[in-house]
Structure 1
């Protein structure tokens, strides 16, 4: 529309009735929300090379559903910032920020679907697409005093079409007492500044080999590692030449000066309480929920646009 015609059209808006204004807003609202989403995505990152052939020569080539499209000078293929990300080919972009707002409120799948106006299967798919990359938004390493401890969740094959065991009724309980291979081990390491890493190394009690694989790469060499009295931590720290202190929880020792694991155990408690609202999650999706909880912990990510940038790999600078 030309500028003069647009100005004349704007001047006629005051003559609209209440119902006409409502209908006009209903028509414009999806377009405005789509513009917001596209502005966040285009501002999050600029491509420096082709996602198909990795050649550096690019030029702008129109727009694709509101997003800037690029064409490669070498291979001739076109792409957008979303190409090659988990959000590629997802529809209803105008509803993304509203849905991410529901995720920040930790709304379950069906309630979020009803609130945004999408199918429950779409809601479930969006949840895990948005979390696929954002769960990797982590600090560089743990410094100072770092605590490490495990929590155990009953292994779940919820939603699986082919189970390797009989189904449990309403979640059920483990067949044996104590920590067994029926439990998923979640290893959480957290320093006193709140920087956190979590891993799902496997089932059953954690081993020194798993600690070398997962925990060692995220620890600063000068860190003081504080754990419980599990022998695997002591052997791991000795082999990795890391300063280590432990508290014997079984004998009632919880605090010895600055040596305790209450920081990481508090994180365990918050995670369990938060996870309970979802009525059980499948073990294969557990890393996504751990990343989701880390994003929410302490209000680290509090706005939908920040979570959207994290979902395409443009992580928040503030850790």
Structure 2
């Protein structure tokens, strides 16, 4: 096969459906040398301990090259200081990254990668550890903000604060912000940069902390007419365009349809997991942000690089 035909095949891989990827993986398996070569070629050249660019080759260990820093004298390998350090079966990482990209459940990912379901669960949260914290530094222009709610879940724990729910359950109260729900603030600008924050309480103090960390000083905040946003905009003296819940949902360029659409996609995507434990909810929010950044078609290499922190700059 000539190189141009092979390049066309590579470009078409992100367009495969989940079932087509499963069929492909029955014929093609990644191997450890290929994954190691990918890590060696792309890992940062600075020392993970002192961050100086003073690494020099220092042999190898457990299939990975080692380096010694001439500045601090410490040794490292391409995975030192990353969540994937000391994980085994490297030959299956790219395959597992495809499972994350397809949003597979733990059991389906375990079957596809031929690993134990406990291993698949461990890998999921190792891969998502850094991805969960990848947010844009600032959002600019018209920035939409809205809150959404997830039912609190103690899934997997032995001691529950209430009787076990059946099929996920429902909130005790209508609307959002009750004690059995987790409030998540979604902030999204018109370029598609998205940040989310799990709030301990939906009040002015917690909303202020979240918005202060993401809003550019010249941004125009567009929200519903909730009091927390009105008081925030007044105290920070920023431009604020509140949208009424009843009546026209759009006033010229000002609306919150983008953030509401993102909320809807997030809820629909996360429903496949039949309830997410609250202590892991942040990882799932970051997982969905990664998929949204890459238009739901990230490559396995992109997923792997973000998992080890090499693609952590969100522009």
Query: Residues 11-62 of structure 1, C-alpha deviation per residue, up to 9 Å, x if partnerless?
Result: xxxxxxxxxxxxxxxxxx99962122112222333342353x7787543221
Query: What TM-score, normalized to structure 2?
Result: 0.84
Report what 1:186 is aligned to: 184
Residues in 2 aligned to 1:80 and 1:118: alpha-carbon distance in whole angstroms:
25
Report what 1:247 is aligned to: 243
Query: What TM-score, normalized to structure 1?
Result: 0.83
Residues in 1 aligned to 2:313 and 2:208: alpha-carbon distance in whole angstroms:
28
**Contact 2:136–2:313 (CA<8 Å) still a contact in 1?**
no
1:63-102 → structure 2 map (5 Å cutoff):
63-72=60-69, 77-102=74-99
**Contact 1:40–1:309 (CA<8 Å) still a contact in 2?**
no
Residues in 2 aligned to 1:273 and 1:165: alpha-carbon distance in whole angstroms:
26
1:270-309 → structure 2 map (5 Å cutoff):
270-297=265-292, 299-300=294-295, 302-309=298-305
Report what 2:197 is aligned to: 199
Structure 1 unmatched runs, 5+: 1-28
User: RMSD of the TM alignment (CA)?
Assistant: 2.3
Residues in 2 aligned to 1:278 and 1:292: alpha-carbon distance in whole angstroms:
13
Report what 2:207 is aligned to: 211
Structure 2 unmatched runs, 5+: 1-26
SS at match of 1:171: coil
Residues in 2 aligned to 1:236 and 1:32: alpha-carbon distance in whole angstroms:
51
Residues in 1 aligned to 2:314 and 2:190: alpha-carbon distance in whole angstroms:
17
Structure whose CA Rg is larger: 1
Report what 1:148 is aligned to: 145
Residues in 1 aligned to 2:44 and 2:293: alpha-carbon distance in whole angstroms:
30
SS at match of 1:226: strand
**Contact 1:138–1:197 (CA<8 Å) still a contact in 2?**
yes
Number of residues paired by the alignment? Answer: 287
Report what 1:315 is aligned to: 311
With over 3 angstroms needed to count, the CA separation of the structure-2 counterparts of 1:279 and 1:305, relative to structure 1, is same
Report what 2:21 is aligned to: none
Say if 2:56 is the partner of 1:59. Answer: yes
Residues in 1 aligned to 2:90 and 2:154: alpha-carbon distance in whole angstroms:
31
Residues in 1 aligned to 2:124 and 2:194: alpha-carbon distance in whole angstroms:
22
Q: 2:35 aligns with which of 27, 37, 57?
A: 37
SS at match of 1:170: coil
SS at match of 1:61: strand
Residues in 2 aligned to 1:317 and 1:74: alpha-carbon distance in whole angstroms:
26
